[in-house]
Amino acid sequence: MADRPVRAAIAGCGENGIGRGTRAGADLWFTHAGAYSRHPRVELVAAADPSADRRELCRRVWNVDRLYPTVDALLAAERIGVLSVCTPDETHASVALTAIAAGVPAVFCEKPIASTAADAEHMVTAARQRGAVLAVNHHRRWEAGHREVRAMIARGDLGRPLAVTVLFAGGFRRVGTHAVDLLRYFFGDGAVVSAATFPDESVQARLRFNGGVGATVTAWPKSGSGAYDLFEIDIVATRGRVRVADFGAQIHHWPVMPSDEYGGDLELARQASVVPSDMRSAFVNGVDAVLAAREGAPLASTGEDALEAVRLLEAIEEAALATPAATGRIRA
Ligand SMILES: NC(=O)c1ccc[n+]([C@@H]2O[C@H](COP(=O)([O-])OP(=O)(O)OC[C@H]3O[C@@H](n4cnc5c(N)ncnc54)[C@H](O)[C@@H]3O)[C@@H](O)[C@H]2O)c1
């Protein structure tokens, strides 16, 4: 007899939970409802949201009819195998802690894990104590191209990193959590060296990772003339360069090779090779990883990892406040 599907539920029927109201495009690829709908071993059976309109959208678009105004009501009525936490950042901790206390075996939480490191610590501790899976959707970690870049770094294909740069536009916490998490994914544990804010509200931070790898994060709010989305990471190293652009959809690798024109000199290859990536697979791969973790497999994106990301963001904010030339607080 075929295994019964795992019963999934979503807390928070917003953009990330269920999307804008279609069953196509970003709604299908970059929402939890879309990922569950495409996963053969999962059935999305229930959802909770205080907004009646959002619950109605979930019913209409994703055919979910067990809908509740609160997570407590959902958990009282349903036996759930995995709960997605897609509520606003500051509510992740209370929703996840409620689910873990109710015996839900796996929580698939949106990033950032929480809005403070203290909240994130409670989540990590509760999950450990109850033996629950706590996965955080830093979704690049579930994607093959990013996994390959990490493997290239680990194998030494790129040599020693000389300059690592992350650029992003958008909320410092909301997008920045991806930036610092990806740096940790590639280079291991990190610490903040310095940070400053500027009159245009941009932020620049220097971080140092395992083995002395230095990285610069430059970010600016997505507003005014800079109101377009951007997220890139560039790794220039002694044996080559990798650039992850277009939100991970384009990853290019240039190995170092002898120059055709200047005998004896080395330079980057003129033509980059493509590192295949498929960002559309990321959310459904995440669901897959959560199911595997329920059966004991190691997770690529744990609550502990996400807690470290929040700690780094808090350390950047503290360093920026303490920098004499800084204009002050970083806009979240
Ligand atoms: N993985 C990614 O790249 C990615 C992308 C976008 C957003 N996110 C994250 O997803 C989360 C949600 O963001 P969003 O853009 O969907 O926000 P949103 O405002 O569109 O949706 C949040 C929903 O949660 C509901 N809600 C609020 N409190 C609730 C509670 N206690 N219980 C149940 N429902 C509750 C709201 O009514 C709303 O419908 C955030 O943490 C955000 O950072 C992640």
| 94, 161: one domain | no
Task: Tell me, yes or no, whether 288 lies in a domain.
Answer: no
Q: Measuring from atom 36 of ligand 1, which residue has the nearest CA?
A: 12
Question: From the alpha carbon of 87, which atom of ligand 1 is closest?
Answer: 24
What's the CA-to-centroid distance between 140 and ligand 1, angstroms?
19
| 316, 191: one domain | yes
Torsion angles phi and psi, residue 202, rounded to 5: -75, 160
* CATH at 128: 3.40.50.720
| 132, 169: one domain | no
| 212, 117: one domain | no
* Tally of domains in the chain: 2
Task: Tell me, yes or no, whether 290 lies in a domain.
Answer: no
What's the CA-to-centroid distance between 92 and ligand 1, angstroms?
9
Answer whether 0.85 is exceeded by the pTM. yes
Taking 70 as the pLDDT cut, the residues of the chain under it are 1-2, 225-226, 324-328, 332
Task: Tell me, yes or no, whether 206 lies in a domain.
Answer: yes
Burial of 40 (0-12, 13-18, 19+ CB in 10 A): exposed
Which of residues 84, 103, 136 is at a domain's end? 136
What's the CA-to-centroid distance between 113 and ligand 1, angstroms?
12
Question: From the alpha carbon of 11, which atom of ligand 1 is closest?
Answer: 33
Using an 8 Å Cβ cutoff, are 283 and 139 in contact?
Answer: yes
Pocket-testing residue among 110, 146, 177, 181, ligand 1, by greatest number of atoms within 8 A of Cβ: 110
Q: Give 177-228 pLDDT, tens digit per residue.
A: 999 999 999 999 999 999 999 888 889 999 999 989 999 999 998 877 667 8
| 109, 146: one domain | no
Reported residue count of the chain is 332
* CATH at 229: 3.30.360.10
Task: Tell me, yes or no, whether 243 lies in a domain.
Answer: yes
Model pLDDT, residue 325 = 64
Task: Tell me, yes or no, whether 293 lies in a domain.
Answer: no
Residue 174: half-sphere exposure toward Cβ, Cα within 13 Å: 15
Model pLDDT, residue 321 = 87
Q: Measuring from atom 18 of ligand 1, which residue has the nearest CA?
A: 14
Task: Tell me, yes or no, whether 302 lies in a domain.
Answer: no
Model pLDDT, residue 322 = 85
Model pLDDT, residue 43 = 98
| Ligand 1 neighbourhood includes 48 CB (under 6 angstroms) | yes
Model pLDDT, residue 268 = 96
Buried b (16+ CB within 10 A) or exposed e, 5-38: ebbbbbbbbbebbbbeeebeeebbbbbbbbbbbe
| 155, 117: one domain | no
Model pLDDT, residue 75 = 98
Which of residues 112, 136, 160 is at a domain's end? 136
| 87, 219: one domain | no
| 130, 153: one domain | no
> Cα(284)–Cα(229) distance, rounded to whole angstroms?
23
Task: Tell me, yes or no, whether 305 lies in a domain.
Answer: no
> Cα(33)–Cα(40) distance, rounded to whole angstroms?
13
Domain of 117, in residue numbers: 6-136
Task: Tell me, yes or no, whether 298 lies in a domain.
Answer: no
Which of residues 76, 105, 136 is at a domain's end? 136
| 234, 185: one domain | yes
| 194, 78: one domain | no
| 184, 126: one domain | no
Question: From the alpha carbon of 13, which atom of ligand 1 is closest?
Answer: 39
| 119, 205: one domain | no
**Which stretches does DSSP call E strand in the chain?**
6-11, 42-48, 66-68, 82-85, 106-109, 133-136, 161-169, 190-197, 203-209, 213-220, 231-237, 240-245, 250-258, 266-268, 273-274
Q: Which residues contact 148 (CB under 8 A, 6 or more apart)?
A: 251, 275, 276
What's the CA-to-centroid distance between 111 and ligand 1, angstroms?
10
